[in-house]
């Protein structure tokens, strides 16, 4: 059985594995959501009014500074992880009795795309890591 962090790690590019090891999962997900596809300068000396502190908190910014202080870090878009989060939300809405057409309109997809998403996620529905991941991802993404 996979733990939630290990399951999420499978959906992340290798470049984020070190970052995931030092900061909270919630902070990592916030960085992906807000900064994905950009480069972020990690401060060497963290000040309380730095924008990263407001975004993810002083503790995690200090951890990033210890790992990357002064570096320009590329934040990948993490499309696999974002697609997983979307698929989980689609499954939740499907279980809440939304039709394929309603889901397609809500998510800006075709009905065929909705059915593909459901086929990808439904085999994992009963996996304990998916429930944990669902809570982590939907709280942030």
Q: Are residues 84 and 74 in the same domain?
A: no
Which residues 6+ apart lie within 8 Å of 126 measured at CB? none
Give dist(CA 65, CA 106) in Å, integer.
39
In sequence order, what are the residues at sequence separation of 6 or more whose Cβ sits closer than 8 angstroms to the Cβ of residue 4?
25, 129, 132, 133, 136
- Looking at the fold, whether 50 and 93 belong to one and the same domain comes out as no
Question: How much is the pLDDT for 1?
Answer: 53
Instruction: State whether 85 and 61 are in the same domain.
Output: no
Question: Could you tell me what percentage of the chain is helix, strand and coil, using 3-state DSSP and rounding each to the nearest 5?
Answer: 65, 5, 25
Q: Which domain holds residue 116?
A: 80-140
pTM more than 0.75: yes
Which conformational region is residue 57 in: left (phi greater than 0), alpha (psi within -120 to 50 degrees), or beta?
Answer: left
Q: Which of 48, 78, 108 delimits the end of a domain?
A: 78
Residue showing tokens 């309380």: 48
- Same-domain check for residues 40 and 89: no
pLDDT exceeds 90 at position 130: no
pLDDT, one tens digit per residue, over 6-42 is 778 888 999 999 999 999 988 998 999 999 999 999 9
Q: Tell me the average pLDDT across 29-58.
A: 96
Measure the CA–CA gap between 107 and 82, rounded to whole angstroms. Answer: 13
Quote the pLDDT of residue 3.
66
Mean pLDDT of 62-80: 96
Secondary structure of residue 104 in the 3-state scheme = helix
Residues 48, 92, single domain; the answer is no
């Amino acid at each position: 059985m996979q733990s939630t962090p290990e399951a999420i790690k499978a959906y992340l590019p290798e470049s984020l594995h070190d970052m995931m090891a030092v900061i909270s999962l919630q902070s990592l997900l916030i960085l992906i959501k807000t900064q994905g596809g950009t480069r972020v300068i990690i401060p060497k000396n963290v000040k309380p009014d730095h924008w990263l502190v407001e975004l993810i908190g002083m503790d995690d910014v200090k951890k990033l500074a210890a790992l990357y202080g002064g570096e320009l870090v590329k934040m990948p878009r993490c499309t696999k992880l974002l697609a997983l989060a979307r698929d989980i939300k689609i499954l939740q809405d499907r279980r809440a009795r939304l039709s394929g057409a309603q889901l397609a309109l809500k998510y800006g997809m075709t009905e065929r795309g909705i059915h593909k998403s459901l086929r990808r996620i439904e085999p994992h529905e009963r996996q304990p890591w998916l429930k944990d991941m669902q809570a982590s991802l939907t709280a942030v993404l």
